[in-house]
Chains A and B, each alone.
Chain A
């Protein structure tokens, strides 16, 4: 029996609506059907990710080059291919607890690559750009133009805004400074200036976290509105209003 694609699409809409309702039911109370849906979600996500990994990486990077090699039309040099096969076999040794140790050098390789990329990414992608941005906080050109033009209010505003940004950055960093002077048998004491700056940093961090919280809340509200609109459309479809 051939199921038409249109019919399957319609079934999919109702199925999606049912899953949406069950998932939203968690807002009222945790329930067994919601847990079943969560297990379905984990299973589907894992199956999808595994299939994509096989199709997009394992087949083109390992299986097809082996088949090409066996067919006498190599696409990779034999040493590279041998290393790929060897590393994969060693990693597969992790499947059994008895041979799991054989896979350690391969996980070490992955860790080494990850650490190097993390260092490169942190320095080139965050540290240098953020420090450059922090160093260029004071808009000197605009300040000079405003000052020379007699706009003293504007020039003061530029200084104030730059100082605020700099204070926020420095005090946030000070919050994570835990160095303290040793005082013999007494508890170590942090420098009073750093302590005050750290307290101010905590206030700025509260503001920053509230900003991030607001962003996530707005995204979540967007998803809620989209789901409610979807359920309304499905209800209209069921009632024949569309």
Chain B
């Protein structure tokens, strides 16, 4: 069976739906239509998430069958299925579902964040070893100043940092640059979105 839906049809769908949603943002008369399309998109996003779930299951099931580090895959599949069944059965607010969230997901997530503190500190320390240039000096000096200005150090407040230099760096130097970065990012987003709506980029395959 040779099933082929040529790209022009998919491109037409993306362009038409995108334009309808975009126009509906400008004209309130199209709000109903937009809400209807958004509801379809929300449903499809949820179904896509379930497809990802099924794919993850399939990949690790195959790994387990072929003996590629089967213990890891077994742990992943067990965690996945038990959590899905329990959370689906009793809802996210149920006792066992909350237990799973608070006793497994939350501690691992927070601990990974805690490990990040150590990794970032090491990365900052190694930066100057790897790159001895003006930008590294500016980066590290700013980091040092902002850390000193973030609060009292061993119970001693350093007013020069907490009240003068720190707020100045935060409110003027970095705000201006971050504004420039944000404007740049949004122009990039705008360009990418327009390329999709013009059919120049077709990330949906085909």
Contacts and interface: CB of A to CB of B under 8 A. Distances in A.
A107 B41 CA distance: 10
B204 A202 contact: no
Contact of B105 (A48, A106, A206): A48
A116 B192 CA distance: 10
Contacts, number: 403
B194 A119 contact: yes
A105 B51 contact: no
B178 interface: yes
Contact of B109 (A39, A41, A53): A41
A101 interface: yes
A113 B120 contact: no
Interface stretch (A84-92, A138-146, A148-156, A183-191): A84-92
B132 interface: no
A163 B75 CA distance: 58
Interface string B33-74: 000111111111111111111101000000000000001110
12 contacts: A24-B114, A46-B84, A61-B46, A108-B204, A112-B15, A126-B183, A167-B176, A172-B181, A203-B135, A210-B138, A219-B113, A223-B110
A196 interface: no
A194 interface: no
A44 B104 contact: yes
B118 interface: yes
Contacts of A41: 79, 104-105, 108-109, 112
A204 B47 contact: no
Interface of A: 5, 8-9, 11-13, 15-17, 19-20, 23-24, 26-27, 35-58, 61-62, 80, 83-84, 87-88, 91-92, 94-95, 98-99, 101-102, 104-127, 130-131, 133-134, 161, 164-173, 175-176, 201-214, 216-221, 223-224, 226-227, 230
B159 interface: no
A99 B106 CA distance: 39
A169 B179 contact: yes
Interface string B112-140: 11111111110010000000001100111
Contacts of B13: 105, 108-109, 112
Q: Which 7 A-B pairs have CB atoms at the shortest separation, nearest pair first?
A: A168-B176, A172-B180, A43-B79, A47-B83, A23-B111, A112-B18, A220-B117
Given A24-B115, A47-B81, A116 B180 contact: no
Contacts of B179: 130, 133-134, 165, 168-169, 172
What bracket does the count of chain B residues touching chain A fall in? Answer: 35 or more
Contacts of B14: 108-109, 111-112, 115
B93 to A, nearest CB: 11
Contact of A57 (B10, B42, B102): B42
Contacts of B73: 39
A68 to B, nearest CB: 16
A220 B177 contact: no
A168 B111 contact: no
Contact of A49 (B41, B49, B103): B49
A158 B155 CA distance: 34
A91 B47 contact: yes
A112 B21 CA distance: 8
B128 to A, nearest CB: 13
A159 to B, nearest CB: 13
Contact of A19 (B101, B111, B170): B111
Contacts of B119: 27
B197 A115 contact: yes
Given A109-B13, A119-B197, A130 B113 contact: no
